[in-house]
Structure 1
């Protein structure tokens, strides 16, 4: 009995030893803790400790939403801090070399504060800073030397400020700048389109991502992107562009959501063979997608056209015809648009690669022309919102719940195209009949002399008339004067009468 107890205790000890060793070797989740404060203890930030593959400490310091109006002069600094978040405070001023003791900092967020200006030396000694977020402030401009010494800066976010202009050589010392976000600075957008020097210099620095959303850009200046051979990601959303201008052929993603284009025609995207993602959402003026509209997109994998509320016509050859180069599209979204029907021929060139399609939120007419939706090789997204609008017997029913036999063309829908063509023919016939009758009436009137005119010959300002000598001594009356006197305002009372 004693031997069994000893054996049992030994087994328990072995299991505990194994469990302890497993817990010791298992990676621990980062543990948040309040680790940073000023000398008086008035500031506390939430910090997270994580480790690199080389077992190095990486501290992420979160001081957001602390209602800070100023930063303390003396901090208990974490020397290994790599990320500092000061967003959503009330900060309006940074001293020179404010972050001089944060030499290892790689990411700094000052978003959603109240900065109206910044000193040139505000970010001095942040030699390792790679990402700087200054979005949602009230900055009007930036000093030309503010980024000196930050040579590794790769991402800069200036979205939603009040920028009026930027110095052309603002990034002369940031040779690694890769991503620039200038969106929602409307005054800056107008300035950049008139004076393109700043953007031209920026694009020459091999920048790969540029966001110019909602900046009141009505047109793209000629040649602006001639030197942008390394630009891969471009966003021009929510600008009043009416045509799709020539953009860099190097683009891999393009966002044109919310622009004012009304029709997509053949050749709009023919110059972008490397484009993989195209966003055309919220085109509220778009009415028609014509044949070969997406011709030339030989690398396109994702296309979204959501919330195009006036889009009623989508040509069945929008992606090309039988002789076109196939488009390797994997996902297509036409959700929440104005479509009523869609031909199954639209997807013929896309079948080998198309996996996901979003069609929910449209006013679908569930007749025989939509029966193909039950025989697709791709997956339909959000089918809970994929419903019929007409005919009345299927109104608001889920399309996946319908049987194939329910997709029946009624007299109205089946003959719609025939009736449309017949109406056009009848209108043309009626117009032709009206023209023929009008011509016949005019010819009849001409032959009967109702349309004859006797031209009057005039010499100078007087009418040429013939006076009968036999009546030369007769008394002239007003009727004769009307023929002889050509001046319309003549005073007849002064005309001498005969004896």
Structure 2
């Protein structure tokens, strides 16, 4: 929750507590009037209050059945009315709260019928209208399946909208239209809303949007629409059933992204080649707790120069068994966490023990506590430093990883081709011998095979390279 700074505390000589303090809890050194858990059924009478300092009012956890129109309270900057389950909200209920910045209506079982356009109307005069000054609106944990078109029309200053934990399932046209009217919006939280896509053009008009939270939804791929949020700096995709992140998911239109959260993704298996190549401004990468993530392509960051920008890389608690030294400028990253992965401590991981581990111990010792080997069996459960001391990190073959992977696939394919050629050659030789024997028997001749002068001994070419 964004909190607005309070000034002019009511502690000066001669100051008195507000009248509402006879009903609610007030602390002389605080600017908050705490009316939580007071079994209130109506909003207390505030019409006579003359509070001359900025203050906040918390009416949460009561049984207020109707949110009626507040009287003029020009210095009220925060209003919390969560967990009251009101049956109605009066039109222009907040119109007299000229400087209200934060409005919290979360967890009230509200539906689209409760937030009509008129609910957020400001004051009107003959010559002008005065829209609300609200900058933070929390509608989380309600029962919205859609939002009425124009419901936010009177909130031109809104910077943060929280819709988390509402059963949207799909972003309807009216919902999209309502959100896209918020041209000042900087932060949008759509986590745990059940959505599986973002509609076409959804983020196009949100020119100031910097933070987008889509965590805990049903997205099966990175939404292409994020590339149209030109000001986006922080994207949270945690806990979505995305399986693969590949080239094209993030385009050059996402180059301003500074933080990317893709953790706790149960189906994520791989990060493909060039997947993050356009994220030129990336500072924080959170890619952890993905139990099926077993490969990050060595060129996932290809053409990206993160030496000056990348600050934190979180890769802990995945299924990674190896890590390429050239994938990132590891020594230049201030914070790296690769703990709790089933590391294969062969020659390909030796660089981690020799080069990266000393850096981690110097910068952030806590990130080295759970760096253990899973393979080979003789080193299972041992720390990387111990294996290095015992001259471990050996490879069973002379070859090791090349720039984009192992020689293994090449060796296997070469062996298969060699076997096919050997079998084919043997079959042709047997068939030729059979034909010659048949011809000799037919004419009663004794056929003897004699090697031609230009015929070489058969040999199997060595096709396994190191």
What TM-score does the superposition give when structure 1 sets the normalisation length? 0.70
- 2:311 aligned with 1:330: yes
Say whether 1:295 aligns with 2:295. no
- Offset, 1:130: 0.5
Q: Which residue does the alignment assign to 1:133?
A: 104
How far apart are 1:81 and its partner, in Å? 5.0
Unaligned residue ranges in structure 1 (runs of 5+):
1-27, 51-58, 444-499
Partner SS for 1:345: coil
How far residue 310 of structure 1 moved from its aligned partner, in angstroms, is 0.4
Q: Of 381, 395, 408, which aligns to 2:380? A: 395
Q: What does 1:266-285 align with in structure 2 at a 5 Å threshold? A: 266-270=247-251, 271-285=253-267
1:47-92 CA deviation, whole Å, 9 max, x = no partner? 3535xxxxxxxx12223344544443469847135111222x1334
Name 2:29's counterpart in structure 1: 49
What is the number of equivalent residue pairs in this alignment?
396
Go from structure 1 to structure 2 and tell me whether the alpha carbon gap of 1:48 and 1:251 turns closer, same or farther (over 3 Å shift).
Answer: farther
Q: Report the Cα offset of residue 291 of structure 1.
A: 1.9
| Aligned residue among 45, 63, 73 for 2:35 | 63
What residue in structure 1 maps to residue 242 of structure 2?
A: 261
Preserved contact between residue 67 and residue 88 of structure 2 (Cα < 8 Å):
no
1:91 and 2:76 correspond? no
Q: 1:104 to 1:435 in 2, by over 3 A?
A: farther
Q: Report deviation, 1:435.
A: 8.0
Deviations 1:139-174 (A, max 9, x none): 012121111125211111111110133222122222
Contact 1:81–1:102 under 8 Å retained in 2: no
Q: For the structure 1 residues 418 and 169, does the alpha-carbon distance in structure 2 shift closer, same or farther, using more than 3 Å as the test?
A: closer
Change (3 A) 1:115 1:140: same
Where structure 2 has 5 or more consecutive residues not aligned to the other structure, the ranges are: 1-8, 123-130, 401-405, 433-466
Measured against aligned partners, the alpha-carbon deviations of 1:83-127 in whole angstroms (never above 9, x if no partner) come to 11222x133423422x32533110111223323542224323111
Cα–Cα, structure 1 residues 386 and 76, in superposed 2: closer, same or farther, change >3 Å? farther
SS of alignment partner, residue 254 of structure 2: coil
Distance 1:442 1:359, change over 3 A: same
1:347 & 1:196 partners in 2: Cα distance?
Answer: 39
Give the match's secondary structure for 2:369: helix
1:143 aligns to what?
A: 116
Coordinate RMSD, CA, aligned:
3.6
- Which of residues 135, 141, 144 is equivalent to 1:154? 135
1:122 and 2:93 equivalent?
yes
Write the deviation string for residues 228-269 of structure 1: whole angstroms up to 9, x where unpaired.
222111112222222221321221111111222211212322
**Partner Cα distance (1:438, 1:37) in 2:** 104
CA contact 1:48–1:61 (8 Å) conserved in 2:
no
Compare relative contact order (CA 8 Å, sep 6+) and give the higher one, 1 or 2.
2
| Cα displacement (A) at 1:193 | 5.7
| 1:370/1:407 contact within 8 Å kept | no
Q: TM-score, normalised by structure 2?
A: 0.74
Evaluate the alpha carbon distance shift between residue 197 and residue 418 of structure 1 in structure 2; reply closer, same or farther with a 3 A threshold.
closer
Q: Does the residue aligned with 1:246 lie in a helix, a strand or coil?
A: helix
Q: 1:193 to 1:366 in 2, by over 3 A?
A: farther
- Whole-angstrom distance in 2 between the partners of 1:344 and 1:115: 58
